[in-house]
Amino acid sequence: MLKTAVKHPEVLAPAGTPEKLRIAIDYGADAVYIGGDAYGLRSRAGNFSFEEMAAGAKYAHERGAKVYVAANIVAHEQNLAGAGEFYRHVRDAGIDAVIVSDPSLIETAITEAPGLKVHLSTQASATNYETLNFWQHEGLERVVLAREVGIAEIKEMRQHTDVQIESFVHGAMCIGYSGRCVLSNHLSLRDANRGGCAQNCRWKYDLFDIPELGQKRELMGHNAEGKIEKFSMSAVDMSMIEHIPDLVDAGVDSLKIEGRMKTVHYVSTVANVYSTAVRSYCEDPEHYQLKQEWVDELWKVAQRELSTGFYYGTPNEDFQLFGKRRRLPHYAFVGEVLGYDDVTKQVTVQQRNNFGIGDQIEFYGPHFAHHTQIVKDLFNDENEPIERAPHAMEIVHFTCEQPVKPGDFLRAQSKL
C-alpha cells in the first residue's frame, strides 16, 4: 500500500543562550527548550532571565515555533519557596510549556500558574503507557520518555494513550537511569539532580580487584591496539538520524535533541539535519531515502561515537567509550556571515576560529544549503589585506564564489 504524507513530528532543539535560540529556529527547529535562573539541571548553561524568555518567545512565535522551559530538578525543601512566582513569570513571558519532573513542582505549576502547560521530564522515568495516562489525568499534555524505552515499547504506548510523546533522538547519554545519578554528589560535591553535574562518568578510572582486606591487584584494560588503558563509565552519544521512519511511524510527537551546553556549531548543524530529514520523510514517505550527506554532516560536530541507545535493545560494550576512537570529527566552526555584496562578491564574516588564505572553507545555512571553496584573499575591517584571521570575533572580508546570506556559518578542517 502506498504511503501518503504523514504527520510531521516536532523537531525540538536545545538553546542554552538567546543566540542559540535564534539559530536553532533559523536552522529548522520547530521548538526549542531553554533554562531559567532556577529549577533547571544545567546551572552552567547561559540560562535565560524572564526578559530574555519573553524576547525568545516572541522571536519563536513570529516564526511559528515554540519555546519550553526546563525546570526539572529533583527539589529539596529549600528549593520549593518561590516556585509559584517563578512559574507565573514563565507563563507571563509567553513560554509555551515547562518541563518538570518533581511532583511537588508539577502541582505548583498547575495550581499557581493556571494556563501554563506542563510536560513531564525524562528524569521522571516514564516507561509504560499506564504512567503516561496517569500524568495525562493529572493535567500534563506531554511526557518525555525515559531514555531506556525502545521503539517497540513506544508503539505499544501509542496504542493505549493519546498524550503527546516526546523522545530523545540525538546527543549525550547519561550513565545513570534517566539521568538520575549521584556520582557527581559523591566525587565532586555537586548535585547532578539539582543542576551541578560534573560528568564524573566521563573521567578515566583505575580498576582494582581486592579479594581480601589489604590485598589490591590492578585489573589492566586493553584497548583496540592492545595498549593498557584506564576504564570509564562513559556512554557513547545517541544518533537516530538513520531511523527517522521508525520514530515517526511509532507515533513520537516530538524528536528531542540533547545539548543546552553545546556550541552554536552543534545546534545549527543538528537542527538543520533532523529538520531536513523529518520534512523529507513526512512529505513523501513512499520515496524517502536516507542521505549519506545527513549522516556525514552530524559527524562534523560529533564529540563521541554514536549509537541508537536503547531503541533496539540493551546497549552492549560497543556503546561505551573505551579504546581508540572509531571515528573523529575533523571540522572547526570558524565564523558567521554578517553580509554579502552581490556586486563585489565580498562576504563579511565575524570570525570565531583562526582561518586564512589557502584554507578550504565550507559555508552552510538553513535548508541544508552548502558550498565549499578555497579562501583566495582576506581583508580586515579596515580593508587592509591580511594572511590570516587569528583574533576571535574580528570582522573580515573575502571573495565568496557563491551568494550566501547573513546567518550562514563557516566551518573548516579542524587542523586550523
Q: In whole angstroms, what is the distance from residue 75 CA to residue 170 CA?
A: 27
Q: Are 170 and 258 in contact (CB under 8 A)?
A: yes
pLDDT in tens, 220-252: 666 666 666 777 778 888 999 999 999 999 999
Cell triple for 334 = 570558524
Q: In whole angstroms, what is the distance from residue 411 CA to residue 337 CA?
A: 11
Task: pLDDT band for 32, please (50, 70, 90 cuts).
Answer: very high
Q: Choose between 2 and 256: higher pLDDT.
A: 256
**If you average pLDDT over every residue of the chain, what do you get?**
89
Domains along the sequence of the chain with CATH:
10-176+235-319 (3.20.20.380), 331-413 (2.40.30.10)
Mean predicted confidence (pLDDT) in 18-46: 84
pLDDT in tens, 316-357: 777 777 666 656 667 889 999 999 999 999 999 999 999 999
Return the exposure string of 60-83: e unless at least 16 CB atoms fall within 10 Å of the residue's CB, then b.
beeeebbbbbbbbbbbeeebeeeb
Mean predicted confidence (pLDDT) in 15-23: 96
pLDDT in tens, 272-311: 999 999 999 999 999 999 999 999 999 999 878 888 999 9
Q: In whole angstroms, what is the distance from residue 141 CA to residue 338 CA?
A: 40
DSSP code per residue over 333-378: EEEEEEEEETTTTEEEEEESS-EETT-EEEEEEGGGEEEEEE----
Instruction: Please report the pLDDT score of residue 359 as a whole number.
Output: 95
Asked if the model's pLDDT at residue 416 lies above 50, the reply is no
Share of the chain above pLDDT 90, in %: 67
Asked if the model's pLDDT at residue 2 lies above 70, the reply is no
